[in-house]
Chains A and B, each alone.
Chain A
Amino acid sequence: MYAAVCIRSFRRYSTYRAATWARVFTNTVFGFILTYTYVALWHVRPHLGGYDLSAAITYVWIGQGLLSLLAVGDLGALADLQTRIASGDVAVDLFRPVDQQRWWLAVDAGRAGYQLLTNALVPMLVGGLAFHLRLPQGSAVDVVASWVATVLALVLALLVSYALRYLVALTGFWLLDLRGVQLVYYLTSCFFGGFFLPVTVFPAALEAVARALPFIAVFQVPADVFLQHYDTAGTLGALGVQLGWAVVLLGLGRLVQSRAVLKVVVQGG
């Protein structure tokens, strides 16, 4: 059933063509701007944060590609959940014999699948044509291992991002206006997730804060895995961190959800 939900969601997103291409355009424009600022910075400090110039540029374009895929700026498919919470329709959903968290994960996976093919691939292709991007390097085994690890890291990143957004959407049970929460979520996830600058470039104290927060599991980690920033042990450790955050945050989501259900039962929505 969840597979069917996922496919339907994919199809639904594929109907928003104009919006998708407009988004692709914006991401590409920002990709160019960021690239030039990175080039200027890495020109002065060639190995800043442990990246060489082409790795730094690649970092930018991965970021622009994943921005929509990981729904960093918005709630992704969970915007619909939020609307249903705000309108009270969610009460109906809660008493259907489906697991809400899994249901919406399937919907969001469909969305991510569609955006992987459009919002993620197109800006990266454009970036690849305009600049020299760094692909996984080394022996055939290394390259294959990097790609496999990247796919794993990306799946886990989507899970963590989903778990975080699920929590943000659930706050709608208690708050009337979510704009403030969403803005805070957007800023913290962009900044501490490493979308603006890699956290390794941050001052030590800020980097420590970033490392203690789940947001690096959303973007910094998959980007670093792709850029072969870690050795084998480091890669496994990084994937472990992602898995840990996914489990913790999804668990937290369940806990909050049960509270929300209780609230709906007591107050009738």
Chain B
Amino acid sequence: MAEARFGPRTRPARWDVVHALRCYGHIVRMWIRAALAYPASFWMTMAGNLAASGMDFVVIVVMFLHTHVLGGWSLPQVAFLYGTSGLTLGLADLFVGSMDQLGVRVREGSVDTVLVRPVPALAQLAGDRFALRRIGRVLQSGAVLIWSLSRLDLAWTPLRALVFVSLVLCGTVIFGSVFVGGSACHFFMADAAEVQNSFTYGGATMLQYPPTIYARDIVRGTVFGVPLAFVNWLPALYLLGRDDPLGLPSWFRFASPVAALLCATAAGLLWRTGVRSYRSTGS
């Protein structure tokens, strides 16, 4: 056999978004295969996740055993909020949720190995420890959402369909931005994961219930502060034909894409600042 020699050097021109996404996809596939190396554990945690996210809905159902309306909203309407909140959080959690482990990597110093590769750190770290079991929440919330839609009997128009699709997409982007922005905080301080959880899981729990039950200042905070109201509350007001407890102009109900864009930009800037700070402190 002829001796194999190293080939001539070849260099791709530059990196781009498509390449970053491809690498993310490949990393995700590798984590799935790694998880399937322990199939029993994989399926058990998958079933556990499904049950865990379903527990919240059982609580809502138990509440509705005692009443027909909660904050003026019926069970199918609350189920719609529950389903959309869970679906968008679940998707964001599935795609980038494992980034809340970034703190561990910063402490271990293993972020270094990511920074020496020709792919943006975000693409590599977002796929890190990808956990397919998190699809449990997506499936369970999706099922509740389908049930609620079947009971709500909405008069579907092209605009309604568009708002619904944009709800799912923008909601996922907003939650995803909270995950990324929160993870960027791991570059500055330890134990940011728990605070991040209050915004993601806490926020999602809040969005499962109608905005009418909360104090107005809290709802205002979700519109003008951390814009979680744009995930499902505001679009749901339009889709379900309900009044806004804050009396905001009606275009707010269609403003989710703007909010999603702002969130993604803010998260991106925070991430860059985080990586820069890591560059200058090394910890």
A23 to B198, CA, bound (A): 9
A36 to B245, CA, bound (A): 15
B67:A19 contact, CB within 8 angstroms:
no
B213:A44 contact, CB within 8 angstroms:
no
Closest A residue by C-beta to B54: A187
Q: Hey, which chain A residues are within 8 Å of B215, CB to CB?
A: 36
A191:B58 contact, CB within 8 angstroms:
yes
The answer to whether the Cβ of A230 comes within 8 Å of any Cβ in the partner chain is: no
B206:A19 contact, CB within 8 angstroms:
no
Check A48/B66 contact, CB under 8 A, given A26-B198, A29-B198, A33-B202.
yes
Q: Hey, which chain A residues are within 8 Å of B189, CB to CB?
A: 18
Interface residues on A, range: 20 to 34
The answer to whether the Cβ of B209 comes within 8 Å of any Cβ in the partner chain is: yes
Q: Hey, which chain B residues are within 8 Å of A36, CB to CB?
A: 209, 213-215, 218
A23:B45 contact, CB within 8 angstroms:
no
A197:B62 contact, CB within 8 angstroms:
yes
A45 to B63, CA, bound (A): 10
Q: Which of A22, A39, A48, A179 has a CB less than 8 Å from the CB of B194?
A: A22
A29:B202 contact, CB within 8 angstroms:
yes
Check A25/B205 contact, CB under 8 A, given A41-B67, A180-B41, A183-B52.
no
A197 to B57, CA, bound (A): 12
A25:B198 contact, CB within 8 angstroms:
yes
B48:A184 contact, CB within 8 angstroms:
yes
User: Number of residue pairs across A and B with beta carbons under 8 Å?
Assistant: 98
Interface residues on B, range: 35 or more
B45:A39 contact, CB within 8 angstroms:
no
Q: Hey, which chain A residues are within 8 Å of B63, CB to CB?
A: 37, 41, 197, 201
The answer to whether the Cβ of B65 comes within 8 Å of any Cβ in the partner chain is: yes
A179:B209 contact, CB within 8 angstroms:
no
Q: Hey, which chain A residues are within 8 Å of B206, CB to CB?
A: 33
The answer to whether the Cβ of B115 comes within 8 Å of any Cβ in the partner chain is: no
Per DSSP, are chain A's interface residues mostly helix, strand or loop, or mixed? helix
Q: Hey, which chain B residues are within 8 Å of A2, CB to CB?
A: none
The answer to whether the Cβ of B262 comes within 8 Å of any Cβ in the partner chain is: no
The answer to whether the Cβ of B38 comes within 8 Å of any Cβ in the partner chain is: yes
A202:B62 contact, CB within 8 angstroms:
yes
Q: Hey, which chain A residues are within 8 Å of B193, CB to CB?
A: 22
Q: Hey, which chain A residues are within 8 Å of B209, CB to CB?
A: 33, 36-37, 40
Q: Hey, which chain A residues are within 8 Å of B45, CB to CB?
A: 179-180, 183
CB distance from A5 to the nearest CB of B (A): 26
Q: Hey, which chain A residues are within 8 Å of B198, CB to CB?
A: 25-26, 29-30
CB distance from B230 to the nearest CB of A (A): 18
CB distance from B240 to the nearest CB of A (A): 17
The answer to whether the Cβ of B165 comes within 8 Å of any Cβ in the partner chain is: no
CB distance from B281 to the nearest CB of A (A): 17
Closest A residue by C-beta to B56: A196
Q: Hey, which chain A residues are within 8 Å of B214, CB to CB?
A: 36
Q: Which of A32, A44, A48, A196 has a CB less than 8 Å from the CB of B59?
A: A196
Q: Hey, which chain B residues are within 8 Å of A187, CB to CB?
A: 48, 51-52, 55
The answer to whether the Cβ of B146 comes within 8 Å of any Cβ in the partner chain is: no
The answer to whether the Cβ of A225 comes within 8 Å of any Cβ in the partner chain is: no
Offer 22 A-B interface pairs, CB within 8 angstroms, sorted by A: A18-B189, A22-B191, A23-B194, A29-B198, A32-B218, A33-B209, A36-B209, A37-B209, A41-B63, A41-B66, A45-B67, A176-B41, A179-B44, A179-B45, A186-B52, A187-B51, A187-B52, A187-B55, A191-B55, A191-B58, A196-B59, A202-B62
Interface residue ranges, A against B (CB under 8 Å): 18-19, 22-23, 25-26, 29-30, 32-33, 36-37, 39-41, 44-45, 48, 176-177, 179-180, 183-184, 186-187, 190-191, 196-197, 201-203, 206
